[in-house]
Structure 1
Amino acid sequence: MDGPPDAFGSPYRLLSGAVVPRPIAWVSTRAPNGTRNLAPYSFSNVASVDPPTLLFSSVGTGDDLKDSARNAIETEEFVFNVVTEDVVEAMNETSATLDPSEDEFEHAGVTPADCVVVDAPRVAEAAVSFECRLAESIEVGTSTLVLGEVVHAHVDDSVLTDGKMDTQKLDAVGRMAGNEYTRTTDRFSLERPP
């Protein structure tokens, strides 16, 4: 069957069900009034390595932005925490719809830790966290793409080998569709052709 995206039902379901697995950015911010915010975004990825830049996309634009995107744009900083299997339940708790005045760190029972460069807190339990300064925000249809330049990284020694990131040790979790997630523990290697 061929056709435009809406020929397959909801374009959201088509895209989120076919473009899988997706990394999860567990985005932490601090609102201008000081309130901590923490929420997962599966429309996320690496945008550039020079300068090192990460991105997440949030539903909403203008006055309809979700808290994380609004805070990141207003304060010009955020933290991209990597979701691993040991924190997946807490990550899921932070997807609850809470009032902007509520603290998702407290709600999910995770520990806010100070950052080195940015004022936003990071998740202490996350094996990898990237402190980001806002590079750009772009409205794309009914969503807002938030790009942040990585200015500092926190990497737990448990996921390093000889001081380098070891993907065999990072039990990252990916997003599928609906209520489905995937583990990244079933790995295989392919040699890239010359």
Structure 2
Amino acid sequence: MFYEPSKRDHGLPFSPLKAIVAPRPIGWISSLSETGVANLAPYSFFNLISEDPALVMFSSVGRKHSVANIEATGEFVCNLATIDLIDAVNISSANVAADKSEFDHAQIAQVPSRLVKPPRVAEAPCALECVYIETLRPKDRHGKVIDRHVVIGEVVGVYVNEAFIRNGRVDTALMGALARCGYRDFSAVEELVERVRPDDPK
């Protein structure tokens, strides 16, 4: 099979693209509105884009509450979504009013962050406290600005639950890190396989 995404001529009931670019980490983003309402939403277009400086990004379809909050207040938190929290992650994706908190809607416990004002998810094994840098508006190949908002932040603080540190390393499989696949599918990291790169120091 071969198809052109712009023509949607794959002949399938649903686009296979997100099933191909998978698994994708989930950025479970918490933010605060200007009036202090805590927002929490999962984004599957999310990743670390630089380690030094530590930069993360997430991409929103439309200027949703998370984007508006972050642009207004300048801070957010990326909470690590895990398989144990999959139902809470899913419920927090609901489209609720801006003056309502997804923490309350999904009955998710929150705790204060250390360096930023938005709270983190209490049960998340890791959290990245971030300061907003910029929002990018991508264009298609014709130069048209699309309704996507790529938010970039610098990580200024990292929380790690020490129960998930083994032999000096954070154990991703032990945490059961959650990822988004295609359609309504999710996956969890359950096994790690190590390889030494050819150019790594001996």
- TM score, norm. by length of structure 1: 0.90
Where 1:5 maps in the other structure, the secondary structure is coil
Tell whether 2:183 aligns with 1:181.
no
Where do 5+ consecutive residues of structure 2 fail to align? 139-145
Shift of 1:14: 4.1
Counterpart residue number, 1:190 = 195
Structure 1 stretches (4+) deviating beyond 6 angstroms? none
Question: Considering only aligned residues, what root-mean-square deviation do their CA atoms show, in Å?
Answer: 1.8
Aligned length: 189
Written as runs of structure 1 = structure 2, the 5 A alignment for 1:1-194 is 1-9=1-9, 13-60=15-62, 65-140=63-138, 141-194=146-199
Conserved in 1, the CA contact under 8 Å of 2:3 and 2:9? no
The 2-side partners of 1:186 and 1:26 are apart by: 22
Greater helix fraction, Structure 1 or Structure 2:
1
Higher gyration radius (CA) = 2
Higher mean C-alpha deviation, range 135-144 or range 18-27: 135-144
Where 1:153 maps in the other structure, the secondary structure is strand
Where do 5+ consecutive residues of structure 1 fail to align? none
Q: Which amino acid aligns with 2:94?
A: A
Counterpart residue number, 2:142 = none
Shift of 1:103: 0.9
Q: Which amino acid aligns with 1:45?
A: N
Where 1:48 maps in the other structure, the secondary structure is strand
The 2-side partners of 1:148 and 1:9 are apart by: 37
The 1-side partners of 2:60 and 2:9 are apart by: 21
The 1-side partners of 2:46 and 2:74 are apart by: 18
Where 1:87 maps in the other structure, the secondary structure is helix
Q: Which amino acid aligns with 2:6?
A: D
- TM score, norm. by length of structure 2: 0.87
Where 2:15 maps in the other structure, the secondary structure is helix
